[in-house]
């Protein structure tokens, strides 16, 4: 359920405006390697609670970073398991491959 709400957030008008403004402010280039930027990433990953109680972390430019797809995957693969990325944006929570294998075994 929480996954759906986060997806709704990433599709929201307010987030789209915020990320577009940030994109322009950093000249549309990846802040890590200088390649064309694709994803406005949250340096501190956000959760549903932040959408309600910590809106500065969600929309504050201090916590944003424009990155290319490669740098984005690198940024996440370093620290979080069970996450993947959707085509337009940021993190999506998924079951790990191991958990899915276990389920198949149960059936």
Applying CB under 5 A, which of residues 6, 59, 68, 89 lies at the interface with Zn ion?
Answer: 68
Bridge partner residues of 46 (DSSP): none
| The one among 24, 25, 33, 92 contacting Zn ion by CB under 5 A | 33
> What are phi and psi for residue 50, nearest 5 degrees?
-65, -30
Check residue 66 for interaction with Zn ion (CB under 5 A).
Answer: no
Q: How many residues bind Zn ion (CB under 5 A)?
A: 8
Asked if 90 touches Zn ion (CB under 5 A), the answer is yes
Contact with Zn ion (CB under 5 A): which of 10, 18, 26, 32?
A: 32
Which of 23, 17, 24 has the alpha carbon at shortest distance from 41?
A: 23
For the CB of residue 23, give the shortest distance to Zn ion in the complex, in Å. Answer: 14
Q: How far apart are the C-alpha atoms of 33 and 90, rounded to whole Å?
A: 18
Angle at 104 between CA 101 and CA 107, to 5 degrees: 155
CB of 5 to Zn ion, least distance (A): 17
Distance (Å, rounded) from C-alpha 26 to C-alpha 20? 10
The least CB distance from residue 104 to Zn ion, in Å, is: 29
Binding residues for Zn ion, rule: CB under 5 A, are 30, 32-33, 35, 41, 68, 71, 90
């Amino acid at each position: 359920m929480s996954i759906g709400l986060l997806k709704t957030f990433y599709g929201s008008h307010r987030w789209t405006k915020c990320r577009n403004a940030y994109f322009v402010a950093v000249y549309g280039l990846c802040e890590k390697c200088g390649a064309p930027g694709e994803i406005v990433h949250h340096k501190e990953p956000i959760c549903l609670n932040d959408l309600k109680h910590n809106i500065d972390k969600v929309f504050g430019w201090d916590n944003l970073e424009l990155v290319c797809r490669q740098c984005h995957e690198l940024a996440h693969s370093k620290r979080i398991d069970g996450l993947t990325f959707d085509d337009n944006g940021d993190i999506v929570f998924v079951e790990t491959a191991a958990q899915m294998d276990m389920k198949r075994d149960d059936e």
